[in-house]
Amino acid sequence: MNNLLQNWNLMRALRLVLGGIILVQGIQAQEYMYALAGIFLSGMALANIGCCGVGGCAVPQKKVTTIESTKDIDYEEVV
């Protein structure tokens, strides 16, 4: 319950508003796939889950443990 009231940001509020709009429009037009998408977006906002969070889409950094020496590259001139 505490997660619903904390850590609100612009993206979370935007997802909730858009999810509510899509849900209402889907019900009014009797397009239940749109209503399902609205429920999904609203649920993501309420539960504070998704890829838009801090580091949600971040790729783990590969740590370099050894220093490899650079090899000399021979270039050949093409005429």
Please give the single-letter amino acid code of residue 23.
L
> How many structural domains compose the chain?
1
Taking only the tens place, the pLDDT of each residue in 28-58 is 999 999 999 999 989 888 888 776 555 556 6
* Chain mean pLDDT for the chain: 80
Average pLDDT of the residues in 2-31: 87
Q: What is the pLDDT of residue 49?
A: 79
Please report whether residue 66 resides in a domain.
Answer: no
Contacts of 47 (CB under 8 A, 6+ apart): 3
Q: What is the pLDDT of residue 75?
A: 84
Both structure tokens of 17: 């508003």
The answer to whether the pTM exceeds 0.85 is: no
pLDDT band, residue 79 (cuts 50/70/90) = confident
Please report whether residue 33 resides in a domain.
Answer: yes
Burial class (CB within 10 angstroms; exposed 0-12, middle 13-18, buried 19+) of 18: middle
Please report whether residue 69 resides in a domain.
Answer: no
Q: Is 46:16 a contact under the CB 8 Å cutoff?
A: yes
Please report whether residue 25 resides in a domain.
Answer: yes
Average pLDDT of the residues in 7-13: 84
Range of the domain at 21: 8-47
Please report whether residue 58 resides in a domain.
Answer: no
Please report whether residue 28 resides in a domain.
Answer: yes
Which helix (DSSP H) or strand (DSSP E) does residue 39 occupy? helix 32-47
Burial class (CB within 10 angstroms; exposed 0-12, middle 13-18, buried 19+) of 41: buried
